[in-house]
Every structure is written in C-alpha cells, then in structure tokens.
Amino acid sequence: MNDTVALSPADMIARARARVPRAIDKPLSERLRPWAIATAIFALFIACCIDLDLGPDVLANGIGKLGGILAAMWPPSAGGQWSRLLLAIAQTLGLAVLGTLLGILGALPLGLLGARNLVSNAAIHFIVRRMMDVFRGIPALVWALILVAAFGLGPLPGVLALAFADIPRLGKLFAEAIESVDRRQRESLQATGASGSLVIRFGMLPQVLPVCLSQCLYYLEQNFRAAAVVGVVGAGGIGFELNERIRIFAFDEVALITILYIVIVGLLDEVSQRLRARLI
C-alpha cells in the first residue's frame, strides 16, 4: 500500500507553476489589462456626461420638475372631452390596422423575390435583399416627418409612415420564412407534375402562412404603439391629442390619455397573443 505524501503549499505552487506557468505568474500586461479597460470605459462615460451636460445639478433640476409634473397629473381628467379622446383612440387603431395592411401588401412581393428557393437569379435576390436592408434603417417617425411635410397634417401620412416602415421589415421576415420551408413537400408535389402555382399553394403556403400571420399580428401590436409616436408630429390619432395637452400643460388630461392608451395596448397584446397561440 503506497503512502500518500502530503505536499506543502510551497511544493503545490511549485508544481502548478511547472505545469501551467502563465496561470501562476501572469505577465504584468495581462494583470493590468482589466484595470485599463475599466478605466477607459469610466473615462468615456465621464466624457459623455460632460459633453451632454449631464451634471448633478441638471439631473436634480430635471427630477424636481418631473415631480411637479407628476403631481399635476393627479387626479386624471378628460377635460369634458371623452368623445374626442375615444375617437382619437379609434383613429390610432385605424392607423395601425391600415398601416399594417398596406405594409403586408407591399412586403409580399419583396418576400417572394427575396427568397432564394423561389428566385434563383442571384442579381435579383441581391438587389431586393440590399434594398430591404437599406430601408429597414429608416424608422416610422422619420417617415412621418417627411410625409407630413409632403401631405400635410392628418392620418394619411401616419398610415403611409407605418406602411413604409413595415414593408422592408416584413419583406425580410417573409423571405426568411419561405426559405425555411421543408423542400420535401415541394419536391413531392413537383414529382406528381403539379404546376408552379400549385406547388406554392399546397407545398409552401401551409407551412409559411401560420408563421407570417403571427409576424403580422406582432407588427400590428407594434404599429399601435408607433401610431401614437407618429401622431405627435401631426399624423393624427391619440399622439396628436397627447401633444396638444402637453403644450397647454394640461397634465391631468395627459395622465388620462396615458392610462387609456396603456389599457388599450394591454388588451390588444392579450388578443394578439391568443391569436398567435392558435396559429403556431
């Protein structure tokens, strides 16, 4: 029976140093690197605060004003304009629905042209995909500012802004959904002599449709939120009403509008989640 020899701490360190010397005796540069990175990040943070004038006095002043605004919000009030506010909520929902619908209609051809398993022409595929990548970077608010300047105030620029923002994003999602279909189902239909339209109708659409509908419902939720933002710049809906109340410092009405909007968003999210659960 072999006797185990107890090693002293010095012997254990010596053996460890012999096996993995860099783990025991790290170079000075490696030991200082985490501290150097942390110092650089902290210095960058301080520089950003100085550049943006985010001093303690500015923050304290802003927090004080925010407290005054929150106090002025209570109790919430409709200002005797319930009908106008409910109409604005309905208009906002209409903006979201129409914008999403137009976005879907515009995204469908882009999704078909952007799918490699449908369009084998590399040039067409590249142009469509890059075009969607470029326009996906433009948010709905920027579209709203441009379209309000072109069409004037009202819901039309809001609908178009939401649609233009959705078309490249939904087009990319549609293309990826089409590319992910099981090709065996298509090949089996092609083996029977089915035409291209029948292959798409029975071989691809049943696989793609639930996913695409789920994505459309999700974008409908997002567009209802975005509709309030584009309304602030004059595109109609509850955002326009909210901006008007803020301008006249009617913060009690601002509170009520915010509460109404949160409730409607919650209800819409719940309905959308239930529908998406049935589709997937």
pLDDT in tens, 47-68: 888 887 777 777 778 787 777 7
Q: Taking residues 122-140, what's their average pLDDT?
A: 83
pLDDT of 28 = 67
pLDDT of 196 = 65
Q: Is the pTM of this model over 0.85?
A: no
pLDDT of 259 = 86
pLDDT surpassing 70 at residue 1: no
Residue 173: pLDDT band with limits 50, 70, 90: confident
Residue 26: pLDDT band with limits 50, 70, 90: low
- In terms of Cβ atoms closer than 10 Å to its own Cβ (0-12, 13-18, 19+), residue 37 is exposed
Residue 128: name the closest of 138, 146, 139, 116 by CA: 116
If phi over 0 gives left and psi between -120 and 50 gives alpha, with beta otherwise, what is residue 77? beta
Residue 41: pLDDT band with limits 50, 70, 90: very high
Please tell me the least confidently modeled range out of 5-9, 56-60, 126-130, 152-156. Answer: 5-9
User: Euclidean distance between the first and final Cα of the chain, in Å?
Assistant: 66
pLDDT surpassing 70 at residue 195: no
Asked if residues 63 and 122 have their Cβ atoms less than 8 Å apart, the reply is no
pLDDT surpassing 70 at residue 197: no
* Structure-block tokens of residue 50: 């100085």
pLDDT surpassing 60 at residue 116: yes
Mean pLDDT is highest, among 9-23, 89-103, 105-119, 181-195, for: 89-103
pLDDT surpassing 80 at residue 234: no
